[in-house]
């Protein structure tokens, strides 16, 4: 499942939610409206939300 895999990959790299958001925004710059946030990534990990095509197209 996506949420479990995302959490495992993030924790395996010793990244916080904030650190992962910053890394993604640096690697794949977009406008401020589409930047990844720690809360958004947390929702992905808990399975509350699934990322949209725009959020994962990079």
The Cα 56–Cα 58 span in angstroms is: 5
What is the predicted pLDDT for the residue at 49?
93
| Helical pair 38-46 and 2-12, crossing angle rounded to 10 deg | 130
Residue pLDDT, tens place only, 9-26: 999 999 999 999 999 899
Residue pLDDT, tens place only, 46-55: 999 988 877 6
Q: Model's pTM, two decimal places?
A: 0.81
What is the predicted pLDDT for the residue at 34?
81
Please return the burial class of 50, using the count of CB atoms within 10 Å of its CB with bins 0-12, 13-18 and 19+: exposed
The Cα 13–Cα 32 span in angstroms is: 26
CB atoms within 10 A of CB 20: 20
């Amino acid at each position: 499942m996506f949420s479990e895999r995302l959490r495992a990959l993030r924790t395996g790299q010793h990244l916080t939610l904030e650190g992962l958001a910053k890394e993604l925004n640096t690697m794949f710059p977009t406008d401020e409206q589409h930047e990844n946030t720690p809360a958004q990534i947390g929702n992905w990990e808990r399975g509350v939300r699934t990322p949209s095509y725009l959020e994962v197209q990079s």
